[in-house]
Chain A
């Protein structure tokens, strides 16, 4: 097991490689023999009609589902099974299709929660909230404030996230994922249910994250316009199979993709 970190991998090299993954739930074959790679520094989109297995694919990548066959290589380490917290500690972070924020906590606490893995002060110091524990808290507050500035959510810092409108919740969720300073960020439909303006804002944040922080992003999205503009490369899935993989313009003109989206006469 090579203990590589994301910094050891040059831009353009494989950050993540999934090889021949198959996942089934009983008789339902959610994913069948899928292989693709994600290279460092790119925005990789995964698209496909409903039920194509896109979200299952993300769940496999961050260890929530365990595929029956195939391997995943992340940072040069090959694996099939992994607990989600292990994936998180290796630098995979994600947002969810249905907003999965910690509703009882404020925006600030949600984003602080995203930094849980970076905080290590033990129980003893925590008990007294003094010395190292307090310093750590303040140091991470500073990092969180940078994310809050970046996402322009200063005004809702202390608001419980349950009270926020949907668009802002999605933004806070992105902030929470960013707080972990991931090397691979998985976004599951970040623009679902948004109006045009909110989509444009979110697209700008996705591009900024990619360019300013150099974060590699894997993105699931249904809005073709957004996907074609944002993504460097696209994987197209249908019925659990990969039907196309390539640059946006190649995918757009691929006959299999057109058939999958528009249907074919039988």
Chain B
């Protein structure tokens, strides 16, 4: 009823080419941003912020990264975990070598390293497609994991083989390490995720994003229309890995505080891939929905027995949790194989014409 585009006439192509042409959508974005930037830091408990919001945002960013590759360019990858690892180790090395440089700059620039690595492992995509490409990206995953163990230079030769986040300040505020407050860390993660989502949306809606989707939908036609597969595919690998790298660096620096090779193993790649598939391939909203579904929902389910006073032991809760999540995944994929983002779009479409069916 309130979600209508009736009466919103566009008088210029600029207005019609806008990313959110409908007024209510723009208002909704403002509302979400207000909630995220003001309400959550103000009212959210430390538990809510550290174990739900921060990982949710970080995983969303990684899912956006993978979605650029899988959903928008049609190149399947299982190397996400390793590319996140490249970002984390690169950031760790850089902050060891240049301790005085602002950590936020280092986090963003660590994406450049993973972008470079991603491009190298993206080269096979010029020759092979589909499941065969999955296998080559799996090779990237194993090779990089091997590097994280066997190249001690990466973790400064310490005995544990893990990277420990040092304490760093930005503009006089402690932002990493044990004494950084959850709210500070949350706000930095949120700002980076919002900015990078905005950039991703711009790229996707422009010429470069279209060239990715052309390759995804019909690569032969794309080539005959002047798209060079080399540029389109490698740029997708680079941008995708950049996002994953930044997400990986943030995961260690703003959430975990320390990490070793297990934090970036193939299970991690699968986790992000599930988020993308359940959220919706080729959708930025879907990346957030998928991350929320996979990350936030289990945390909520785990908290339910305590809240309502049921006395069940932790192991049972965990088992029930797995069953419920598994069941829901199957349910959602049967109801809508194109993911939560499609459900979201359908709901919006229904609202638009309500109370009429179409």
Contacts and interface: CB of A to CB of B under 8 A. Distances in A.
A66 to B, nearest CB: 14
A138 B11 CA distance: 13
B348 interface: no
Interface in B304-321: none
Contact of B225 (A117, A129, A134): A117
B282 A85 contact: no
B226 A127 contact: no
B228 A134 contact: no
Interface in A95-121: 96, 100-105, 109, 112-114, 116-117, 119, 121
Interface string A73-99: 000000000011101110001101000
A180 interface: yes
B208 A105 contact: no
Contacts of A94: 224
Which of B202, B221, B222, B235 has the most CB atoms of chain A within a 10 A radius of its CB? B221
A127 B199 contact: yes
A116 B17 contact: no
Q: Interface centre among B203, B205, B206, by most A CB within 10 Å?
A: B206
B226 A141 contact: no
Contact of A126 (B207, B213, B222): B207
Name the residue in B14, B208, B217, B225 with the highest tally of chain A Cβ atoms < 10 Å from its Cβ.
B225
A64 interface: yes
Contacts of A54: none
B208 A123 contact: yes
Interface string B200-240: 00110111101101101110111111111000000100000
B43 interface: no
Contacts of B47: none
B358 interface: no
Contacts of B202: 126-129
Contacts of B207: 116, 119, 121, 126, 133, 136-137
B112 to A, nearest CB: 13
Contact of B224 (A84, A126, A127): A84
Nearest to A134: B14
B42 interface: no
B208 A113 contact: no
B9 interface: no
Nearest to A176: B225
Interface residues on B, range: 20 to 34
Given A126-B208, A138-B13, A104 B217 contact: yes
Contacts of A176: 225
Interface in B13-71: 13-14, 16-17, 19
A126 to B, nearest CB: 4
B213 A116 contact: no
Nearest to B15: A138
Contact of B13 (A96, A113, A145): A145
A142 interface: yes
A93 B218 CA distance: 15
Contacts of A101: 217-218, 221
Contacts of A114: 225
A57 to B, nearest CB: 15
A119 B207 CA distance: 7
B214 to A, nearest CB: 5
B223 A113 contact: no
Contacts of B199: 127-128
B220 A100 contact: yes
Contacts of B205: 129
Given A105-B213, A109-B210, A127 B228 contact: no
Contacts of A136: 207
Nearest to A173: B221
A116 B214 contact: yes
B226 A180 contact: yes
Nearest to A62: B224
A103 B217 contact: yes
Nearest to B206: A126
A109 B16 CA distance: 13
Interface string A131-160: 001101110011001000000000000000
Contact of A141 (B13, B217, B221): B13
B223 A102 contact: no
Contacts of B19: 129
Given A127-B199, A129-B202, A137-B206, A102 B13 contact: no
A116 B206 contact: no
Contacts of A104: 213, 216-217, 282
A142 B13 contact: yes
Contacts of B222: 102, 113
B16 to A, nearest CB: 8
A116 B217 contact: no
Contacts of A117: 225-226
A116 B227 contact: yes
Contacts of B13: 138, 141-142, 145
Nearest to B211: A116
12 contacts: A84-B224, A85-B228, A87-B224, A102-B213, A102-B216, A103-B217, A104-B213, A109-B210, A116-B210, A129-B206, A137-B17, A141-B17
Given A113-B213, A116-B214, 16 more contacts: A64-B223, A64-B224, A84-B223, A88-B224, A96-B221, A100-B218, A104-B216, A104-B217, A113-B225, A116-B227, A117-B226, A126-B202, A126-B203, A129-B202, A129-B206, A137-B207
